[in-house]
Amino acid sequence: MGVDANGDGAADPFNVNDAALAAARYLCAAGGDLRSSAGQVAAVLAYNYSDEYVAQVLALAGRITRALRSAAYRSPARRPERSPRRAVARRR
């Protein structure tokens, strides 16, 4: 199930873009709706039929998701211009 994700005309499993898109398509085809826990479990089980493996993969995915959300929250581009304390102090 090779995919040419970067448009270079070759589906290369050693190219990170091609490999990532191919893996995503495989998991989506196997699991259906990956927004649901059941879909995620089905997708991972299709890749490796092991409950222990599923638990490890989903735990790692959860840690990555939390880290990304935390980093996005701390990003200067997403910070409010004023802190709530300053806004309250200015109203007085």
Span 16-55, pLDDT tens digits: 999 999 999 999 999 888 999 999 999 999 999 999 999 9
Q: pTM to 2 decimals?
A: 0.66
Q: Helix count (H) and strand count (E) of the chain?
A: 4, 0
Q: Which residues contact 41 (CB under 8 A, 6 or more apart)?
A: 31, 54, 58
Q: Is residue 89 domain-resident?
A: no
Greater pLDDT, 38 or 1? 38
Question: With bands split at pLDDT 50, 70 and 90, how would you rate the model's confidence at 5?
Answer: very high
Q: Is residue 84 domain-resident?
A: no
Full residue range of the structural domain in which residue 33 is found = 1-77
Nearest-angstrom CA–CA distance, 84 and 90? 10
Q: Is residue 87 domain-resident?
A: no
Query: Total structural domains in the chain?
Result: 1
Q: Is residue 92 domain-resident?
A: no
**Residue 82 confidence (pLDDT):** 57
Question: With bands split at pLDDT 50, 70 and 90, how would you rate the model's confidence at 73?
Answer: confident
